Structure 1
Amino acid sequence: MSASDVMRAVRITRHGGPEVLELTEVAVPAPQEGEVLVRVGAVALNNTDLWTREGAYGRPEDPGALSGWRGPIDFPRIQGADVAGRVVAVGAGAPEDLVGRRVVVDPAIYDTEGPDANPVGLMGSERDGGYAEYVTAPVKRAHDVTESPLTDEQLATLPTAYGTALGMIERGRLHKGDTALVSGASGGVGIALVQLARARGARVLAISSGTKIDAVREAGAHDVIDRAGDITEQLRAAAPEGIDVALDVVAGDLVGEGLPLLREGGRWVVAGALGGHGVAFDVRRLYLHNAQVIGSSMHTPTHFGLLMDLARRAEVQPVIAASFALEQAAQAQEELSRRGHVGKIVLRP
């Protein structure tokens, strides 16, 4: 591959609506020391793509500021955190035998080298991502999944949605036999939570609505709570003994309503704010019952390793809602923002 090689990529040069996504030709990136070059087989979309594009994350000192995931975005930026593909070249110090291997890239940029490191950056946000024909990644973030029976599209759905879900499940210490509550259950992380909690042997109660209820049940929920009804009442009926772990991507009013439903020592894990980021709850329900509210952002390297083990054995079956060509990235993001689908939307460069 020569230095003159160009590739198609979709990038943003500013914050805004879907119109800021531009299809362009750029040089194929060269893998630096300790990096691999991956030909992208599929890249999955996430809410973070929308929010990064819109600059919707705010900053600790200014919640209204236009900002990427962890601060200002360095434009131009190629979006896309979730990549499955094949290694086509390696940089200095990376093993040659990776060439030709099928990989899933861990999109997290971590704060330390350790197994329990925290993600402080994200591919597609703090470094270029997979809305392109090729992407580079650190060799230690490229996980060999050549033997997995899952397709590239299915594998691409795993990093952010399933990584976030597994991070929540691990941080919430969900055990076999526990009762788990999953909010926002038809979304990418929601379906992942339902599948992973079920695979772990938990009893899964999921909150969803309308036409999506059947799909959530199909993904493995034992009971589905209809968001249109009285959620608290339905939960009390479905789990009279209480909930061990809530896996919540909605937040908002649900936190205050739901905390009293936790069992003694229960955990409420929050990894999103689809229902609003202003939360009020009765703090007595927290300390009198030794409950915990746990924030969870993505996954650690250890969690991601567990996820890749599941992928190699196909212990989860990701649901693909729709597949688009690279040049349809704006259309794909609009489809994602409408939230009419169940499962994951992917691009095929």
Structure 2
Amino acid sequence: MKFELHTTDPKSKARAGTIITDHGRIETPIFMPVGTVGSVKGVHQRELRDDINPDIILGNTYHLYLRPQIDILEKAGGLHKFMNWDRSILTDSGGYQVYSLSANRKIKEEGVKFKSHIDGSYHVFTPENVMEIQRSIGADIIMAFDECTPYPCDYRYAKGSMLMTHRWLDRCLAHLEKTPLKYDYDQAFFPIVQGSTYSDLRQQSAEYIANTDAFGNAIGGLSVGEPAEEMYAMTDVVCAILPEDKPRYLMGVGTPINILENIALGIDMFDCVMPTRNGRNGMLFTAHGTINIKNKKWESDFSLIDDMGMTFVDTEYSKAYLKHLFSVNELLGKQIATIHNLGFYLWLVREARKHILAGDFRVWKDKMVKQMDKRL
């Protein structure tokens, strides 16, 4: 495992780098398509690999633990082999599910007892068994077990949650040291900064996380309903503390504009369900703004979905055809929209990288934010 920082934009904090894992090179900044249960919804691995072409995708520990279950993944030789994916994978530890299952879980110092959303059965996640589960899944990058606080969140709760996340981190690290690798490649570990939208807590957490000297560092608990300005403010506070020579991952973010603004603050890695989920519901992201393809205005528009041709679907199908597919509830429509959106997100971060390397990222970013902030 290795991270190389190549350059920083002269008029912002945007960075271009490369993460090297045993499954390949990851050029940053990078967007990771979300493959929650071992599948990026509606997309074949062939299309993902050959057309969208991400260097890394994300899987989710909570969902993979419940289905197909860990013994199946171990018998397959890990998630890479199970899903026939030969590039890098990152797994979220399940901390976000702790947040999202608020009605069906109980948090204690030992860990979290939760009820399965599938069959109502009870399970327990602890820092220790989550590390073991991620060893068995076999992702290249694995995450610390944390609690993601809601927004809004009062100061006392946010502080208590952050301190427990730090104690859980210490337990994760201690257990990893005595838990051997399951497969013939390395795994990198990322702790997670918490602290809600309180600057002093974010600073305290960032300092604690930086002192672990992990391979990389993540920022959690943002993009949970807070205004974008608060997200940016917390990201700025944290990036000023996290070490420059390690990759920085902002979890669960976000819109194309969110991504560009956070790249400008020094973030290297992103994931979000927005391009796939919104695509399945008819929202397309483009360099010129967002499109609701279900609107009547597109039914006689025979121009291509996107004139920039970022994926094969953009060069083969018209807006009118895609609007028709959504009108008749044809599954192909959801697939085309998903592939387009993922292609756009990957195009966006790769263009950002080009402009960082060229030294004109800030000017390009400001232009793109203005262009994308439109409903077409």
Query: So what's the TM-score if we normalise by structure 2?
Result: 0.25
- Structure 1 or 2: larger strand share? 1
**Structure (1/2) with the larger helix percentage:** 2
